[in-house]
Amino acid sequence: MRIFLITAGATREPIDPVRFISNRSSGRMGFALASAARDRGAEVTIVAGITSVDPPGGVRVVRVSSAKKCEGRLTMKRARPRSSWPRQQYLIIEPKEKATTKIKKSEAELELKLERTADILGEVAQGRTNGQLLIGFAAETDNLLKHARAKLAAKAWMR
């Protein structure tokens, strides 16, 4: 039996106790992949961030809210090996400093210093074993093939 681990949806990175930075991922592509794999007899687990659609039935869903929580779910050791890791791109920035109280609108200016979150896709790629297939998806706004090839090379997917 083929085993799929698929991520879907957006993550939210807090900037204070009531606000966050996110991305526009709806989860539709990840859920469609999960449905297709399930329909072909695969065992499917979805690590889902915030989604605007319901997950498909007949699959295991693990909910996460932030990139750090997603990373923990994708890189933790499992009792049985994963044979395939389809992957959508997750948010790659998080606030460098999180405010401990709500940032008030009365402040004249708001400056957020951001730092990159861990490269979850790259870490998963480095940790895969022989026979595992890793498929990555990323949203781009320009130079699609050029950026896709650069990501492929940077994440050392080819062995």
Phi–psi pair at 50, nearest 5 degrees = -80, 130
3-class SS at 29? helix
Is 130 a catalytic site residue? Answer: no
In which residue are the tokens 């951001």 written?
Answer: 114
Query: DSSP 3-state assignment of 84?
Result: strand
Do 52 and 8 meet the contact criterion of CB atoms below 8 Å apart?
Answer: no
Task: Answer yes or no: are the C-beta atoms of 147 and 39 closer than 8 Å.
Answer: no
34 in Cβ contact with 5 (< 8 Å): no
**C-beta separation of 68 from 11 below 8 A:** no
Q: Which of these is catalytic: 7, 11, 23, 88?
A: 23
DSSP state of 141: S
Q: What is the set of active-site residues?
A: 23
